[in-house]
Amino acid sequence: MPGCNRTGSSGTTGSTRSKPISIERRSVNIQMSDDASIEQYGDLYVIRFERHLHHPIERVWAALTDPEKLQQWLAATELDPVPDGRYVLHFQNIEHTHVGRVIRYEPPYLFEHTFGDDANGVVRWELSPSEEGCLLRLSHTIYSSTGMANFMAGWHAHLELLQHVLSGSPQPWSWDSWHRHNDRYEAIVEREMGDGEPNG
């Protein structure tokens, strides 16, 4: 799951090849691949993913918000789809529960929620139609670089599972996949961010 290791403790996902990484002193933009990036705005860090999906926007929206479908790729879910409604994720792979709240819910284009309590940041799912199907944008705003790679590894692994679900071939959670992503992101974030400040 995003932001937790096998034992459930907090910590810091990726593709197999990386592109050049651009660093600025006050606004860091780490572009790791076509799949993931990190942006820094003062004390805030925004993890971003994009996926071009060959599925109708309504199908993808259902996968993001229908508890029955969410259980196949993310977690067992309780969702009250109204502003300030409860959004509870029961991650069975680590036996951990996040109790969060809905911020915005605008079918079938926008779903924004806290990731558990406010300390774990805000997650935003955006969908827009495309010729091939739809574009999915995921952003997770966090308040510290601590645990950044862990969050990224979790989201990347879960997005892989989402794509399997959309294709009609659900797959089980894989810790091997998570560790591959996490190892790669930890190395890149450590090299480029160090103690949380941009290097260079």
Confidence label for 169 from pLDDT (cuts 50, 70 and 90): very high
Task: Return d(Cα 26, Cα 5) in angstroms, integer.
Answer: 30
Q: Is 31 helix (H, G, I), strand (E, B) or coil?
A: strand
CATH superfamily of 29-193: START domain (3.30.530.20)
Computed from CA positions of residues 59, 4, 89, 138, in that sequence, does the dihedral angle turn out positive or negative? Answer: negative
Left, alpha or beta for 166 (phi > 0: left; psi -120 to 50: alpha)? alpha
Question: Given this model, what pLDDT does residue 188 score?
Answer: 78
Checking if the pLDDT of 30 tops 80, the result is no
pTM, entire model: 0.82
Strand duo 86-91 + 96-106: pairing: antiparallel
Check whether 27 has a pLDDT greater than 50. Answer: no
